[in-house]
Amino acid sequence: MFHTNKLTAAVSILIFSAAAYAEQCSTDYLAPYTQLGGDVSDNKIYVEADDSESDFNLANFQGNVQVRQGNKHIHGPQINYEKGKAEFYGEKEIMFSSPETVIKGDGVNYNTDIDVITAEKADYYLAGKTDKKGDRGAQGSGKNIRFDQKNKIDTMQDVTWSTCNRENQTWHINAKELKINRNTNRAVAKNATFQIKDVPVFYIPYISFPINGERASGFLMPSMASTEKRGVEFRIPYYWNIAPNQDATFTARPMTKRGLMLETEYRLLTTNQRLNFNGNILPSDKKYDERNRWQLATDYQYQFSHDWKAEVLFQNVSDRDYLDDMEGDFRLYDEWYLDRYARISGRGDWGSLQAQIQDYKIASRNILDRDKPYSRLPQVEYFKSWELPAELQLDTRVEAVRFHKNNYGDAARFTAEADISRRFETNYSFVEPKLTGNIRHYDFSPDNNAFRDGKKTIFTPTFSLDSGLVFEREFHFGDAFTQTFEPRLFYLYTPNRTQSDIPDFDTAERSKSWNWLFARNRFVGGDKIGDANQLTTAVTTRFNRQSDGSEKARLSVGQIQYFADRKTALYGEKGRQENKSVLVGEGKYALDSHWSIYGLSLWDTDKHNNERNVVELRYDLDEDRYLRFGHHYTEDEYNQLTLAGGWRINSNWRMFAREDYSLQTEKNTNALLGLEYEDCCWAWRLAGRRWRDNHDDIKAHNGVYLEFVFKGLGNVGSRTGGMLQEQLDGYRPLTQEK
């Protein structure tokens, strides 16, 4: 049963009590008694007391009584021992302790033969079982307590359970019955209420939860969220610890606007294989014409040996709206396609080999079939390097691939390529000539005249000469630095070969960056080798601190001079005729150990404008205190300012923020503000977000996300941690969420 008014009151109590009280993780008053020690192998019983009386069967000890057997201890003002039953018992203020368990209360009885402790009424403490930060163990109180140390089965009635400080419990479970199985490291509570402070929020007839960080079968903590597309939704997961190397999670996900979705995850890990499977189904989606919605994802890897492995990735969804409506954990080729492949690869002294089949599933209604990438059915690649006499290096690559796309047809491409190079290098210079021969053979089989028919063979040679010098001098500006001056020349020549009739099966233009200046082909993929007669002129200067060698500053500038027009272009496009490229500048400056600035600029010297510009100012004080300010500009695409950061206010509080502002549309495209509180036993995280899917959209979406982390139980609410990791470079999840 869910009490809305009580939940609202509880949330208010949680947030405002957190503001007024920052818990310092004090140790439970019973916890030190787990450290009393003792020789486990010593079964003798030792007793110390101020006074004692005894007969043949019964002994009575009074005044500061201390009993020890191995690593188990009993303390109290008065303790009796009955030899016939092998039992110690005491009426008032009796404490039993072992490395795992401490109880203190009334009517305590310890049977040394069967290693069982009982108590009529007592406080208890269970020590943490892992080395994880925050695993402080659990505490509470109960009646009719029975701790079976031998069989590791504990039971209690009218009991409380919490990982919070006993003196100030933020949350606890109050149950009629509690059974703790320390063999499986899980506890089961029946007829329980989950309480925040003194406010009962949930009635739970049955709940199973872990007593430490180890895996164990049972129900996990449910979660709840609310979205515009799915309404109010719950996730009720059941975890099955099948074996030490495999597990499964089954989740019921009722959604008020959609229906009931069933989710399954299975994981397997051995010394030579790894498997992850996810499958979800939503029968009769109420907002999708009562159609069934589903997803499948399988990621498998098998290691035959150190050098050979097989990999399979299969992903599928019922329709193109699924990801937008339901979300999901997928590996995307980009934001519109699901990648699927099966491949085998190996390496050795003989080279490296990979054979695969690869396909893509369109997962967006905004993408047309003609824009889907070509499938590779199949593709085989081989690579081998040789070290030849005279320090020559020979690299060879062979590829055979068949491309296919429905309604467009097939094309087979065979490629053989060889590079021979020699690097001449000293401590102040290098020169590296390289000669490449590339031969491609195509066999076209188009459908619907999608592209040319027949066969075609192309041979393309490429020559490059890369060279550079390094000059150094001492430079003093406060500290002592070594300044370098590094001029670099890169010449590239590739004759023109007619390729305009070849479709771009897997080819696109290379993105412009600093490394683009020294690329031997302005295209990526195998269908185009750009003709070139060009020279890159570049220079870099660095300032390295002499005391530790760290880089204080770096500045690089370079440009390509073209000696001929570039005729080769992507399919259906025209060549280019400019005589020089954009001027590329890149730099980084460390203001101090915390502040740094990075910049990248692509300046068109003919048009006198920026083609692309990136400026990023970073501040990193430590892993929880960081700031980012950036300006990202690409001509005719976007012009955006970004301010983001996370800041730990103190040991309990963190705040997060991000703002993206489009200078084109003069609108906020993405805004995020979050606040997090954490102490020893719980945490909460509140975040608000407002965003647009595209920078020029008129409509903006709003979201408010609240999540609770009850340590030892799980998370309740929206999944804010994943969103913050996606939005903030530098966000660090809580220890319990890793």
Q: What is the pLDDT of residues 453-510, one digit of tens each?
A: 999 999 999 999 999 999 999 999 888 999 999 999 999 999 999 998 999 999 999 9
Contact by Cβ (8 Å): 322, 295 = yes
Measured over the CA atoms of residue 163, residue 167, residue 173 and residue 174, the dihedral's sign is positive
Banded model confidence at residue 18, pLDDT cuts 50, 70, 90 = very low
Name 714's Cβ contacts closer than 8 Å, sequence gap at least 6: 209, 220, 221, 223
639, β-bridge pairs: 633
d(CA 374, CA 412) in angstroms, rounded, equals 12
d(CA 611, CA 604) in angstroms, rounded, equals 6
Range 12-20, long-range pairs (CB < 8 A, 24+ positions): 13/196, 13/197, 13/199, 14/170, 14/196, 14/197, 14/682, 14/684, 14/708, 15/677, 15/684, 15/686, 17/170, 17/197, 18/652, 18/677, 18/679, 18/684, 19/677
Measured between its terminal Cα atoms, the distance across the chain in Å is: 31
12, containing H or E segment: helix 4-20
pLDDT digits (tens, 9 = 90+) for 119-165: 999 999 998 765 554 557 889 999 999 999 889 999 999 999 998 98
d(CA 531, CA 565) in angstroms, rounded, equals 9
pLDDT digits (tens, 9 = 90+) for 363-389: 888 888 888 999 999 999 999 999 999
Among residues 348, 357, 254, 363, the alpha carbon closest in space to that of 308 is found at 348
More confident: 399 or 221:
399
Banded model confidence at residue 14, pLDDT cuts 50, 70, 90 = very low
Please provide the average confidence, as pLDDT, over all residues in the chain: 89
- Would the pLDDT of 333 be above 60? no
Residue 329: its pLDDT value, please?
60
d(CA 111, CA 82) in angstroms, rounded, equals 10
Residue 707: its pLDDT value, please?
83
Contact by Cβ (8 Å): 516, 584 = yes
Name 334's Cβ contacts closer than 8 Å, sequence gap at least 6: none
Residue 135: its pLDDT value, please?
56
Residue 305, Cβ neighbours under 10 Å: how many? Answer: 9
- Would the pLDDT of 3 be above 70? no
What global pTM score does this model have?
A: 0.79
Residue 75, Cβ neighbours under 10 Å: how many? Answer: 19
Among residues 697, 722, 718, 701, the alpha carbon closest in space to that of 709 is found at 718
Give the pLDDT mean for 333-343: 83
Contact by Cβ (8 Å): 408, 448 = yes
More confident: 546 or 712:
546
Is the peptide bond prior to 32 cis by the omega test (within 30 degrees of 0)?
Answer: no
Q: What is the DSSP letter of 389?
A: G
d(CA 137, CA 25) in angstroms, rounded, equals 12
More confident: 223 or 11:
223
356-370, 537-551, 644-658: which has the minimum mean pLDDT? 356-370
Residue 723: its pLDDT value, please?
83
Q: Cα dist. 317→228, 314, 367 in Å?
A: 21, 11, 15
Query: Which amino acid, one-letter code, is at 710?
Result: F
